[in-house]
Amino acid sequence: MKIRFALLVILLALTSLAQAGDFGSGWQCGWERGWKQVRGPYSLAPLAPLSPLPPLGQDDYRDGFAAGVLAGAAAAQGY
């Protein structure tokens, strides 16, 4: 019984890490897109900062991209 519970916990942890990776990939692409929306399409965007933890229920690529665009645009305006 303990082994089954441990396997279930490990499986859930791996699933959440995979989803967080999707959010992180979207965040990085979105951050660059947001930077270029403000600075121009031919500007060289700096490296994106590490993505934040995704909010509950918002853990896929599209959510990360949307959050990254907002953060990248805000960073470009304050630069």
Q: At CA 57, angle to CA 31 and CA 74, rounded to 5?
A: 25
Mean pLDDT of the chain: 85
In angstroms, the CA 65 to CA 44 distance is 18
* pTM, entire model: 0.71
Q: Where are the domains of the chain?
A: 20-77
CA–CA dist 79, 62 (Å, integer): 26
Query: Confidence band (pLDDT; 50, 70, 90) for 1?
Result: confident
In the chain, % of residues over pLDDT 70: 78
Residue 13, pLDDT above cutoff 80: no
Predicted local confidence at residue 79, as pLDDT: 79
Distances (CA, A) of 62 to 30, 42, 44, 59, 68: 9, 24, 23, 8, 10
pLDDT of residue 58: 87
